Amino acid sequence: MHRRHFLGASLAAGFAALGLRGCGASSPLRFGIHPWIGYESLYLAEEFGWLPALVELVKGSSALDSMELLKSGQLDGAALTLDEAIRVHVEGPELLVVGVTDVSVGADVLVAKSEIESLDQLRGKRIAVELAGVSGTLLLNILDQASIERDEVTIVDAPADTHVGLWKRGEVDAIACYEPTASILLGLGGERLFDSSQLPETIFDVLVVNRKFAERVPEAVRALLEAHFSGLRHLVRNQYDSIYRVATRQGISPREVRLAQASVMFPDLASNRRYLAKNGRVEQVARSLSRMLAREGLVPRTLKVERFSDSQFLPRSAA
Amino acid sequence: MKRWVLGYLAFAALILSATGTTLAQGFQEVRFGIYAYRPDFIMKERYQPLADYLTGRIGIPVKLQVLDQEQMRAALASNQLDFFLTNPSQFLVIRSERSLTGELATLVRKHDGVATASLGGVIFTAATRNDISDLSDVRGRTIASPGLHFLGGFQTQALELKGAGVDVLNNNRIKLVRSHDRVVRSVLTGDAEVGFVRTGILEEMIADDPRLADRIRILNRQNLTGFPYAVSTRLYPEWPVAALPHVDSDIVRRVASALFAIEENYPAALSAGIAGFAPPADYQSVEYLARELRVEPYDELPKLTWGELVGQYWGWLMATFILVLLLTGSMLWLRRKKRELAAEQRRLRRLILSWPQPMLMLRGGEFVDSNRAALELLRYAMPRSLLGKDIAAFSPQTQPDGDVSRQKIQRLLQRVDRGEVVQVEWVFRRSDGSEVWVDMTLAPVHETDEPQPHVLCSWYDITGRKEAEQRQRMAASVFDHAREAIFITDLHGLIIDVNDAYVEITGRARADAIGRLPPLPLEEGTGVFASARAHGFWSGEFANKRRDGERFNMALTVSGVRDERGAISHFMGIFSDITRLKAQEKELRTMAHYDALTHLPNRVLFTDRMQQVMAQARRQDDLLAVVYIDLDQFKPVNDAFGHKAGDELLVEVANRMRAELREEDTLARLGGDEFAALIVNISEPTVLENLLARLLHAISEPVQVAGHLVQVSASIGFTLYPQAEELDGDQLLRQADQAMYQAKKQGRNRYCGFDSAAS
């Protein structure tokens, strides 16, 4: 079980304030978040004081933390990839996708040895991937797209932090991974055979909330999304400031932030409305993803809800 | 006037087309304006190499012009510039005033080997000012700033302070000193307490004078990785280079490519302290800032005319107008209703207050209102004596039925709470301690939204009725329980009602008695009622018969019962059974006239009888004898055998003597062993002598007393009546007594007649 650590998630962010629920006011939305360029909007909102009292950010070091706490009910919502959201949903409390923070356009990459020049040549090769993570989704999509059956390749299920070692020892022919591993592998002679920019509007990072919580305290969910869009405006429209703040938080250089930003798209309010619509892109992708995950035995069952996304919590107009 | 304007325009167009041709063919010079954010000489020194570089690259002399804000405006207004480099705020103002070709490039600065296309503001104070440590301390301080149009020298700081709650334009005195260098100087000399400069200025000045670093302190310093300058605010894109529209596009292209071609190590870059130029930045964030701060070009909000307003919001205005109209109408209507309601309330209140029957209002068991009659009933003067107290406070500890007043009223109020109307008799204690009976009605007065419903409480004084009832009860009790028989009749004497004693005495059932005459004396009958009517009452004693035939004596009193007008409407009779009384009377009479031992008449009755027979003898000319008998040797018998034996002897002797006498004769015991007899109708002396002889014989017969046979004798004296002279009874008895003594003297057991000569 691994998820995105953006560029060496060395940030050992503790779970400050977890369990210390504010008393008095109606229960705030406890929202799990971890470092990822797509979620920077919320970090920025917090930094500039745009986060309302109704929302309480619980900072973890990876999506794993958020998923566990969501399942145990200690969180009311979290920022996750769509496939992670599906995994929690089918096992734990029912979730609702209320916002799309970013769409991967190149952040997820299939790196292959230079002699492999097309997807067809993957047949009979050994491919390393962290199946339980978002890279698993990427690989399954790639195989689908190239009409390669599962038994035509050898899939080596390995955690993301072992990928570089596997590559160096030459144990695999290709690796499905994401930044920063991808850049490292490219530096070691790998070729970018496929990346998420070729899977348009498929790998989503989303904001999810517990369905029951959303029914009970919809104003907190609205407040969360308003904060996200305020932060997003600063992130996108004021890049001359935001790249430095993101760089500071993630301990990387502004240049690397700019590269990372280039590998994702930040959908604005109108795009969010389109993605989250009934039978919109998010629901379509979620359904096909859940079928794929169920088929591979990665989740016990497929999605069985009428609506998995809801645009009603989006702000009426951009701030 | 109009003509002059037209002429001017035509002239301007001619000039423009002429210069356009020259520019296309080969321009004499390109005028490059730079905004003077630092003193003139520094600017010229630093940027002249850039002008020289451009001259070399585009083949046309580039003339550097360092301009302050006004100069730049004037120059732009008269097309005296072809390109300019200025701060983003200034750029926005210019762009709003005239058309531009858009920005060509954005400046990239460099410091300590790190390049950046961002700029921000620095807020600093003198290092000695320990009283200013964070943004909120800036409030009220004197601030030095190069000018309000400086993005990094004023606007970024103003926005940051606004976020911290400090509105510098209103809270602070701002000294506009026109350049960053002067800001630093003002703060160092103490003219200003806080200084605003853009990023990079302090670093440049410290490079010239390293001591400066220790003399200032930066507030709200941001920790931004990869940003080469100290900064207090968020960042914005660096200065843009823009071309004016009259410049030939070929020249614009050449200038732009020359700018982008600048490398870090070029003299032009090194001298200006820049890294070169980057593709134009997105200046929207600067627009947001200007809007937020309401500075040029967003300082004026568009004025809305009334016409526009009406045109745009016609529907809304109409709806609002109608709403206001409706509101006013309904308010007036409500006010009228309210006034009517108030009048109605006052009328109702007056009615209740002056209503003669006591009425009160309760809430939560306590009085909240009362009328005058209620006060008067309890004899209080002021309503406040009642208000806030409960019913039990004005009641005795217990009610006549024995219930505790407070518990009873609570039970009643619980029933009222359930919606019942409760009526109950209740005793109140007045202020003067007297008690008053009321018939109390408690009724709920429901108002749906009241947590504690009101209860209407009304009283009806029934003290008079209660007292009458009590009297009646007492009278009934007397009637029922009297030992005397009581009956009530109508005017004709027929019974209406009788009591138990009547039934008991007469033995007649009540049903039998009613409608009949009461027992009346035979001789007077219903005349009793006539007498009672005449004298007010009749009373008398008479004998009567019970139903079973037993006779009894009764004493009856009949009185007339008068109505309101004093006329007799009924008769009431009381009688008692006096039969026993009569028997006792008779017994007493017997005891007075007879001897208890022998049951013979005593001396009193004997004397009485003697008077009667003496009168009879005188009337009928008969002869009678008075006989005195004394037993001889009686005392020895008494002494020998006791008084009981003596008494037995006396009784036996008396019985024998009585048996010898005739019915019409009288035998009496005068006392002790002395007896007397009256013998009447003596036809001849022998009759008397035979009788006396028989008496002596009867007495002398032996008598069995106390187991002994005893024998006594008697000495008898007698006298006759009438005699020659008139005598009374006493004299006659004395004569007989004397004769008895004579007999004793002659030897006892004999009789002896009175001889007047002998005495």
CATH of the domain at B680: 3.30.70.270
Cβ atoms within 10 Å, residue B655: 15
Say what the pLDDT of residue A70 is.
Answer: 93
Do B636 and B698 share a domain, yes or no? yes
Say what the pLDDT of residue B19 is.
Answer: 44
Mean pLDDT, chain B, integer: 87
Q: Are B64 and B43 in contact (CB under 8 A)?
A: no
B226 at interface of A, judged by CB pairs closer than 8 A:
yes
Say what the pLDDT of residue B524 is.
Answer: 78
Say what the pLDDT of residue A10 is.
Answer: 34
pLDDT in tens, B149-204: 889 999 999 999 998 889 998 888 999 998 899 999 999 999 999 999 999 999 98
B668 at interface of A, judged by CB pairs closer than 8 A:
no
Cα–Cα distance between B459 and B660 in angstroms, integer? 93
B636 at interface of A, judged by CB pairs closer than 8 A:
no
Give me the mean pLDDT over the B280-306 stretch.
82
Give me the mean pLDDT over the B243-270 stretch.
90
Residue B341 confidence (pLDDT) above 70:
yes
Nearest CA in chain A to B116: A240
Most distant pair of Cα atoms in chain B: their distance? 225
Q: Which CATH number does the domain housing residue B144 bear?
A: 3.40.190.10
Cα–Cα distance between A182 and A174 in angstroms, integer? 11
Residue B292 lies in a domain: no
Task: Report the residue of A40, A238, A240, A259 to disrupt the B interface, i.e. the one with the largest count of B CBs within 10 Å.
Answer: A240
Say what the pLDDT of residue A214 is.
Answer: 92
Cα–Cα distance between B454 and B393 in angstroms, integer? 19
pLDDT band at A225 (very low <50, low <70, confident <90, very high): very high
Question: Smallest Cβ distance to A244: which of B118, B163, B282?
Answer: B118
User: In chain A, what percentage of residues exceed pLDDT 90?
Assistant: 52
Interface size, chain A vs chain B, as Cβ–Cβ contacts under 8 Å? 51
Bigger pLDDT: B605 vs A6 = B605
Residue B17 lies in a domain: no
Give me the mean pLDDT over the B551-565 stretch.
88
Cβ atoms within 10 Å, residue B575: 25
**Is A273 exposed, middle or buried (CB count within 10 Å of its CB: 0-12, 13-18, 19+)?**
middle
Do B274 and B373 share a domain, yes or no? no
Cα–Cα distance between A30 and A70 in angstroms, integer? 10
Bigger pLDDT: B325 vs B516 = B325
Do B253 and B230 share a domain, yes or no? no
Residue B758 confidence (pLDDT) above 70:
no
Residue B517 confidence (pLDDT) above 50:
yes
CB contact under 8 A, B284 and A253: no
CB contact under 8 A, A240 and B225: no
**Is A213 exposed, middle or buried (CB count within 10 Å of its CB: 0-12, 13-18, 19+)?**
buried
pLDDT band at B407 (very low <50, low <70, confident <90, very high): very high
Residue B21 lies in a domain: no
For B722, the 3-state DSSP assignment is coil
CB contact under 8 A, B225 and A253: yes
- Which ranges of B261-305 does DSSP label H, i.e. alpha helix? 267-272, 284-293
Residues 23-62, chain B, touching A (beta carbon < 8 A): none
Place of tokens 């002249």: B48
Catalytic center residues of B: 673
Q: Measured on CA atoms in the order B488, B491, B493, B495, is the torsion positive or negative?
A: negative
Nearest CA in chain B to A245: B224
Give me the mean pLDDT over the B493-509 stretch.
89
Q: Are B166 and B159 in contact (CB under 8 A)?
A: no
- Report chain B residues whose CB lies below 8 A from the CB of A253: 225-226
CB contact under 8 A, A241 and B120: yes
* Min Cα separation B308/chain A (Å): 25
Do B227 and B262 share a domain, yes or no? no
Place of tokens 């940051």: B160
Give me the mean pLDDT over the B544-550 stretch.
84
Do B540 and B414 share a domain, yes or no? no
- Residues from A contacting B (CB-CB < 8 Å) are 48-49, 234, 237-241, 243-245, 247-248, 251-255
- Report chain B residues whose CB lies below 8 A from the CB of A230: none
Overall number of domains in chain B? 6
Containing domain of residue B166, as a range?
Answer: 119-237
Q: Angle of helix B284-293 relative to helix A218-237, nearest 10 degrees?
A: 120
pLDDT band at B1 (very low <50, low <70, confident <90, very high): very low
Residue B634 lies in a domain: yes
Residue B50 lies in a domain: yes
* Min Cα separation A269/chain B (Å): 17
Cα–Cα distance between B173 and B585 in angstroms, integer? 138
Give me the mean pLDDT over the A127-141 stretch.
87
Last residue of a domain, one of B213, B237, B261: B237
Nearest to A182 by CA among A40, A36, A7: A7
Q: Which CATH number does the domain housing residue B403 bear?
A: 3.30.450.20
Tell me which of A216-220, B42-46, B97-101 is least confident: B97-101
Whole-structure pTM value:
0.56
Cβ atoms within 10 Å, residue B306: 7
Say what the pLDDT of residue B592 is.
Answer: 86
Cα–Cα distance between B675 and B693 in angstroms, integer? 16
Cα–Cα distance between A315 and B13 in angstroms, integer? 50
Say what the pLDDT of residue B145 is.
Answer: 94
B278 at interface of A, judged by CB pairs closer than 8 A:
no
Do B219 and B307 share a domain, yes or no? no
CB contact under 8 A, A255 and B227: no
CB-based contacts of B656, cutoff 8 Å, min separation 6? B698, B699, B701
pLDDT in tens, B435-447: 899 999 999 887 7
Nearest CA in chain A to B286: A238
CB contact under 8 A, B225 and A49: no
Say what the pLDDT of residue B354 is.
Answer: 83
Question: Smallest Cβ distance to B224: which of A238, A245, A251?
Answer: A245
Residue type, position B200, single letter: G
Domains of chain A plus CATH, in order, are 29-103+203-295 (3.40.190.10), 108-198 (3.40.190.10)
Cα–Cα distance between A240 and A263 in angstroms, integer? 18
B479 at interface of A, judged by CB pairs closer than 8 A:
no
Nearest CA in chain A to B117: A240
Do B327 and B440 share a domain, yes or no? no
CB contact under 8 A, B285 and A252: no
Do B34 and B54 share a domain, yes or no? yes
Question: Smallest Cβ distance to A49: which of B117, B163, B227?
Answer: B163
Query: How open is the CA angle A6-A8-A12, to the nearest 5 degrees?
Result: 95
CB contact under 8 A, A244 and B282: no
Question: Smallest Cβ distance to A244: which of B163, B235, B282?
Answer: B235
Say what the pLDDT of residue B12 is.
Answer: 46
Residue B76 confidence (pLDDT) above 90:
no
Cα–Cα distance between B157 and B436 in angstroms, integer? 88
For A194, the 3-state DSSP assignment is strand
Residue A180 confidence (pLDDT) above 80:
no
Question: Smallest Cβ distance to B234: which of A241, A247, A254?
Answer: A241
Residue A1 confidence (pLDDT) above 50:
no
- Report chain A residues whose CB lies below 8 A from the CB of B227: 244, 254
pLDDT in tens, A91-123: 889 999 999 999 989 888 999 999 999 999 999
Do B604 and B743 share a domain, yes or no? yes
Say what the pLDDT of residue B68 is.
Answer: 87
The alpha-carbon radius of gyration of chain A (Å, integer) is: 19
Instruction: List residues bridging with A29 in a β-sheet.
Output: A55
Bigger pLDDT: B627 vs A131 = B627
* Min Cα separation A261/chain B (Å): 16
Per-residue b/e over B534-561, b at no fewer than 16 CB within 10 Å? eeebbbbebebeeeeeeebbbebebbbe
| The total number of residues written for chain B in this structure | 759
Q: Are B437 and B462 in contact (CB under 8 A)?
A: yes
CB-based contacts of A93, cutoff 8 Å, min separation 6? A70, A71, A73, A210, A211, A212
B275 at interface of A, judged by CB pairs closer than 8 A:
no
Say what the pLDDT of residue B28 is.
Answer: 81
Nearest CA in chain A to B106: A240
Nearest CA in chain A to B238: A240
Residue B551 confidence (pLDDT) above 90:
no
CB contact under 8 A, B226 and A48: no
Give me the mean pLDDT over the B336-357 stretch.
89
CB contact under 8 A, B226 and A241: no
Cα–Cα distance between B369 and B82 in angstroms, integer? 93
Residue B409 lies in a domain: yes
Q: What are phi and psi of B340, to 5 degrees?
A: -60, -40
Residue B22 lies in a domain: no
Do B510 and B566 share a domain, yes or no? yes
DSSP code, position B444? E
- Report chain A residues whose CB lies below 8 A from the CB of B288: 237-238
Task: Report the residue of B108, B135, B235 to disrupt the A interface, i.e. the one with the largest count of A CBs within 10 Å.
Answer: B235
- Report chain A residues whose CB lies below 8 A from the CB of B225: 244, 247-248, 251-254
- Report chain B residues whose CB lies below 8 A from the CB of A247: 224-226
Say what the pLDDT of residue B304 is.
Answer: 67
Tell me which of A92-101, A217-226, B1-10, B736-745 is least confident: B1-10
Do B711 and B683 share a domain, yes or no? yes
pLDDT band at A55 (very low <50, low <70, confident <90, very high): very high
Residue B293 lies in a domain: no
Nearest to B220 by CA among B210, B204, B229, B231: B231
The two structure tokens encoding residue B9? 């325009």
Residue B305 confidence (pLDDT) above 60:
yes
Say what the pLDDT of residue B16 is.
Answer: 44
CB contact under 8 A, A238 and B236: yes
Cα–Cα distance between B246 and B76 in angstroms, integer? 11
pLDDT band at B361 (very low <50, low <70, confident <90, very high): confident
Say what the pLDDT of residue B624 is.
Answer: 92
Cα–Cα distance between B691 and B624 in angstroms, integer? 13
CB contact under 8 A, A247 and B117: no
Do B193 and B332 share a domain, yes or no? no
DSSP string, B212-224: HHHHEEEES----
